[in-house]
Amino acid sequence: MRNTWKKMAVSVGIAALAVVGLAAPASAAEDCKVGYWCGWVDINYSGQVRGSSYNKYAAEGAWINNKMSSASANGKSCWYTYFYDAGDWTGAHYTLYSKTGMGYNFKDPDLRNGAGFDGSSTNWNDRVSSVQFGYCQ
C-alpha cells in the first residue's frame, strides 16, 4: 500500500512538472507587464531581463546597456516605445508599438534581423542605450 501511494505521488509530481515546463516558455514575451518595456540579453526572450515603467530610461552604466537581443513593449497609456543607440534618447532608434495600446508590432524576438517598424533593416542586437515611451495619452 505504501509503495502504491509513493508511485502515485511521483506520477502526479512528474505530470505537474511537465505541465509547468511546457507552459512557461510560451508566455515569455507576455511577461512584460502593462506599463512596461522589457529587454532580454538573449534572443527569443531568454536570459536576463530588464523592464521599466519609467517614461525615460538610460541604460548607460546598467548591466543591460548594449546587451539587449530581444524586446517587448506594453506601455499602458503610451502607444510607442523608442529604443535608442545613444544614452540620452538621441541618435538612431527603432520603435515598437504598445501591446495594450496598439495590439501589434509590440515585440521582436531577435534584434539581429532589424527591429520595429522603422529599424527593420538594421541590426539592433547589443546596441540599445536608452528607452523612451512616446505618444502618451
Contact partners, residue 25, CB within 8 Å, separation at least 6: none
For residue 111, give the nearest of 129, 127, 123 by alpha carbon.
Answer: 123
Q: Give the class (CATH, top level) of 32-136.
A: mainly beta
- Could you give the C-alpha distances from 30 to 14, 104, 109, in angstroms and in order? 26, 13, 12
The span from the CA of 103 to the CA of 98, in Å, is 7
Q: Report CA-CA distances (Å) from 112 to 27, 41, 79, 124.
A: 21, 12, 24, 6
Q: Domain coordinates of the chain in residue numbers?
A: 1-30, 32-136
Look up residue 97 and give its three cell numbers: 508599438
Q: What is the pLDDT along the chain (137 residues), one digit of tens a residue?
A: 555 444 444 343 433 333 333 223 334 555 688 999 999 999 999 998 888 888 888 877 788 889 999 999 998 899 999 999 988 898 899 999 998 888 888 999 999 988 887 877 889 999 999 999 999 88
What's the rounded Cα separation, in Å, for the pair 37 and 35? 7
